[in-house]
């Protein structure tokens, strides 16, 4: 509190006023109850307006009351409350159903829906308690059942952020659970991901629900149908992240036997023979996208376990390193195409850096792994992977190796501001300016 009042004019007096206000709260029960109402998560804007007054109408205005009123106005919900959220959700529903007057107001309906959902997602982070009403949750259930994937995906994220207190709405939980389970098993990958996180956030008996999802997906994995593998692998990956101990034995077997032996070590169909380094998803080999999900599953499993005592971390890193060292063609059969190589290369680089962000794996992430990621960066800057490249650079800027200043004397280009200078210097000393350019251009 004292740190906050230091921003006020005449902070010395403000500290004295705060001490005086604390004494007033001890002595005046009415003011104390008004303050309790004001700081309550369920306080509405109308209630806040009355509480902020604190009986100032009964007393002449003085510097003490002005300071107290100023501080209370800073914490009062002056715009966002349950009523506001409910009205916004209803408006989004009207736009989705086509009954809103979006076009008359000069806003295309799709743009109105997208903007409304983005605003609700943002508010679900900052004001989750304001969503806790039966009316709001029922409206969100309506959004969740819409056929539009983006609408359902945004709604799942809102439920994930706001559903921690859903036990107060048992009828909502009973309707929502089967929808989440269905999406986790057979929905689009991103919806499957958020469905698992919703169950984790909302239900205390999540182990039972997780088991009901894990068992059929685990038993039904089959490399014969590549397209049907993506959602199950996504779901299993997030289960391994959130409940690694519950499925410790089957997950270890799944990674060793199915992901590594059956998927990564096998190229069943020839890839697209093209000179392009990057193509859209629908032009990539059917095997590549499931392989990427398999790599992500391995990493999520390790992030969930967080155990450096086992050999799983080292063996996974060896596998990832082998993929990069073999030009992403572990089988060396020449079946994999260049676009598939680019996808796998980028996935492995992101996987290594994801592990590097977890403190418990710092000891097994070596300089060599960062150097290999430098090669990924060098290749990916030539393709249409700007978002992933930026993610790699952002992670490497925070790596343990990024503290040395770059001594790039072999290139005319200034050092890239997101470089990993220690790597650049290391490779310059070994006579490989190509690697330095991966960071300095």
pLDDT band at 14 (very low <50, low <70, confident <90, very high): low
Q: What is the pLDDT of residue 357?
A: 86
Tokens of 232: 């199950």
pLDDT at 380 over 80: no
CATH class of 81-100+108-203: mainly alpha
pLDDT band at 434 (very low <50, low <70, confident <90, very high): very low
Q: What is the pLDDT of residue 114?
A: 82
Cα 38 to Cα 24, 35, 45, distances in angstroms: 16, 5, 9
pLDDT at 272 over 70: no
Average pLDDT over residues 58-84: 68
Interval 279-295: pLDDT, tens: 777 778 888 889 999 99
More confident site: 61 or 34: 34
pLDDT at 177 over 80: yes
pLDDT at 157 over 80: yes
DSSP symbol at 364: G
pLDDT band at 382 (very low <50, low <70, confident <90, very high): very low
Domain boundaries, the chain: 2-75, 81-100+108-203, 226-365
Q: Do the beta carbons of residue 121 and residue 153 sit within 8 Å?
A: no
Provide the b/e sequence for 125-136 (b: ≥16 CB within 10 Å): eebbbbbbbeeb
Q: What is the pLDDT of residue 334?
A: 67
Give the residue carrying structure tokens 């090669």: 375
Q: What is the pLDDT of residue 301?
A: 92
pTM of the full predicted structure? 0.75
Interval 87-146: pLDDT, tens: 888 888 888 777 777 666 777 877 888 888 889 999 998 888 888 888 888 888 888 887
Q: Give the whole-angstrom CA distance, residue 355 versus residue 299.
A: 7
pLDDT band at 59 (very low <50, low <70, confident <90, very high): low
Lowest mean pLDDT among 125-134, 145-154, 274-283, 358-367: 274-283
Residues of the chain above pLDDT 90, percent? 20
3-state secondary structure 218-241: HHCCCCCCCHHHHHHHHHHHHHHH
Among 32-46, 249-263, 298-312, 392-406, top mean pLDDT goes to: 249-263
Q: What is the pLDDT of residue 390?
A: 58
pLDDT at 406 over 50: no
Q: Do the beta carbons of residue 45 and residue 84 sit within 8 Å?
A: yes
Task: Give the count of beta carbons closer than 10 Å to the beta carbon of residue 6.
Answer: 10
Q: Give the whole-angstrom CA distance, residue 125 versus residue 367.
A: 37
């Amino acid at each position: 509190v004292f740190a906050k009042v230091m921003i006020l004019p005449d902070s010395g007096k403000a500290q004295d006023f705060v001490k005086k206000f604390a004494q007033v709260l001890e002595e005046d029960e009415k003011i104390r109850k008004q303050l309790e109402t004001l700081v309550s998560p369920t306080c509405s804007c109308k209630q806040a307006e009355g509480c902020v007054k604190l009986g100032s109408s009964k007393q002449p205005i003085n510097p003490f009351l002005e300071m107290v009123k100023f501080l209370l106005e800073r914490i009062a919900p002056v715009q966002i409350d349950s009523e506001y959220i409910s009205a916004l959700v209803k408006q989004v529903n009207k736009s989705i159903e086509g009954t809103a007057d979006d076009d008359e107001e000069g806003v295309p309906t799709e743009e109105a829906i997208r903007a409304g959902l983005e605003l609700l997602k943002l508010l679900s982070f900052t004001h989750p308690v304001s969503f806790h009403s039966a009316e709001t949750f029922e409206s969100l259930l309506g959004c969740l059942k819409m056929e539009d994937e983006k609408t359902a995906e945004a709604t799942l994220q809102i439920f994930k952020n706001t559903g921690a207190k859903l036990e107060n709405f048992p009828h909502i939980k009973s309707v929502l659970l089967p929808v989440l389970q269905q999406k986790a098993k057979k929905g689009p990958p991103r919806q499957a991901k958020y469905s698992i996180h919703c169950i984790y956030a909302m239900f205390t008996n999540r182990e039972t629900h997780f088991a009901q999802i894990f068992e059929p997906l685990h038993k039904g994995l089959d490399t014969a149908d590549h397209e049907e593998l993506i959602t199950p692998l996504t779901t299993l990956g997030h289960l391994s992240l959130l409940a690694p101990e519950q499925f410790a034995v089957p997950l270890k077997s799944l990674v060793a036997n199915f992901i590594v032996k059956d998927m990564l070590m096998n190229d069943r169909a020839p890839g697209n023979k093209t000179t392009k380094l990057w193509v859209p998803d629908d032009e990539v080999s059917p095997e590549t996208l499931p392989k990427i999900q398999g790599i992500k599953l391995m990493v999520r499993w390790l992030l969930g376990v967080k155990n450096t005592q086992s050999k799983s971390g080292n063996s996974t890193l060896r596998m990832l390193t082998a993929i990069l060292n073999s030009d992403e063609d572990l089988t060396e059969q020449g079946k994999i195409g260049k676009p598939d190589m680019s996808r796998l290369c980028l996935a492995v680089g992101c996987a290594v850096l994801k592990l590097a962000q977890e403190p418990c794996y710092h000891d097994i992430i070596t300089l060599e792994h960062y150097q290999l990621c430098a090669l990924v960066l060098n290749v990916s800057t030539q393709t249409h992977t700007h978002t992933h490249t930026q993610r790699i650079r952002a992670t490497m800027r925070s790596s343990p190796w990024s503290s040395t200043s770059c001594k790039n004397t072999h290139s005319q280009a200034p050092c890239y501001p997101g470089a990993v200078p220690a790597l650049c210097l290391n490779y310059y000393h070994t006579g490989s300016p190509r690697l330095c350019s991966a960071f300095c251009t």
